[in-house]
Structure 1
Amino acid sequence: MDLDDDTWIEQGQKISNASELREYVAAIRAEVHHMQTGLARAAAGALNGRSWLDTPGDERASHGDVLHEQLDMTVTPAGMAAKDAVYRQSLAALLVALEAVDRATLTVWLADISAKDPNRPA
């Protein structure tokens, strides 16, 4: 990963019409989905001590399940160290932020459809 890579900024600077903007938002949505999936699988592997690839298919959780069942806490479980609780909450916050971006890109898509034909089924 190149931290100096400004690909998204470079692409954004070149957009000059609504069609290009739609493509850009679709690309963002695809990237966010990949990040959500990858982060959830990595978190599940770290928490369970077994990588995603080494986990039987029927035991693999979706990113939503990892978030709600293993990371997001309203109450810290008894005996959990503060450092572990902070780590889990940080991962949960990242997954929630990615979910917010995913929802925002869907909203942009729906707004575009609605602007063209407000009565079209979504």
Structure 2
Amino acid sequence: MADADVTTSPHGVRIRVNKTGPGVHAALDPDRRAEFEAEFRNALAHADDQSDLDAVQDVVERWWPAAVLCANPEIQEEISMGRCRAADDAHTVFGHLTSHPHPRPEDADTAVGS
């Protein structure tokens, strides 16, 4: 695993967040940090009892995306804007929804080449 994973968008490289306990902790907003700390400490206690660091790494992996979004709020803004655009324009480039079958197949356009 790399010490830092690069978060990229169409607009270039964003703030990097180390995929480590201290890296995630530093990037999180203060209101989310306390929850991370509690989970991280529980995982450390488990690691101490079981001599297994997998639980600690799982906590870091689970919280890393939230840390990236906290460090790069513009990414969340882009996601939200994309969702709004998708909700406003439910049609495809072909001018109709393609995810649902036509309710009356006899009214549907015939296939190309038929």
TM-score normalised by L of structure 1: 0.28
Structure having greater relative contact order (Cα 8 Å, sep ≥ 6) = 1
Structure number with bigger Rg: 2
- Structure with higher strand content: 2
Task: Give TM-score, length-normalised by structure 2.
Answer: 0.29
